[in-house]
Amino acid sequence: MELRTKITSAMKQAMKDRDAERLSTLRLINAAIKDRDIALRGDGQDQGVGDDEVLGILGKMVKQRRESAKSYEEAGRLDLAAQEEGEIVVIEEFLPRRLNDKEVARAVDDAVAEVGADSIRDMGRVMGVLKSKYTGQMDFGTVGPMVKERLAS
């Protein structure tokens, strides 16, 4: 089932269940996807976003909410931090399972081998392979230094 369809179905179910918090988050997801659709139409693409781009949008939304939750916690606004954490839970329902440390290390090694990377100059190509295969499954902010360390040795 296409991600968009899953999100729409979840939104309808949240309406039936009268779950206002979940519905609000699902509407935010839908709005972000539609914004991207509109941007693509401006660039001359009529198809809209595919599942890969939706995963990227969802990943960005989770990252934004984690940063916001951290800021709210530091400011002593635990109520707002809890709201952000609740939104993260809803968004992550549509993301694939996160890879553990061993799986990430194996994925980095595979990407390095696939590209034939032997120096730090190949880092962009390695990251490109990882992003194309593992969008939503790993945090690229933490993977970047791992790739850099792997290529430096």
pLDDT in tens, 5-37: 999 999 999 999 999 999 999 999 999 999 988
Pair of tokens at residue 40: 């693509």
Give the domain range for residue 134.
101-152
140 & 86 share domain: no
Same-domain check for residues 107 and 88: no
Instruction: Give me the pLDDT at residue 1, please.
Output: 46
% residues pLDDT > 90 (the chain): 39
Report the number of distinct structural domains present in the chain.
2
Question: Is 124 in the same domain as 80?
Answer: no
CATH code of the domain in which 76 resides: 1.10.1510.10
Report the C-alpha gap between 98 and 104 in whole angstroms: 9
Note whether 86 and 139 are same-domain residues: no
Whether residues 23 and 86 share a domain: the answer is yes
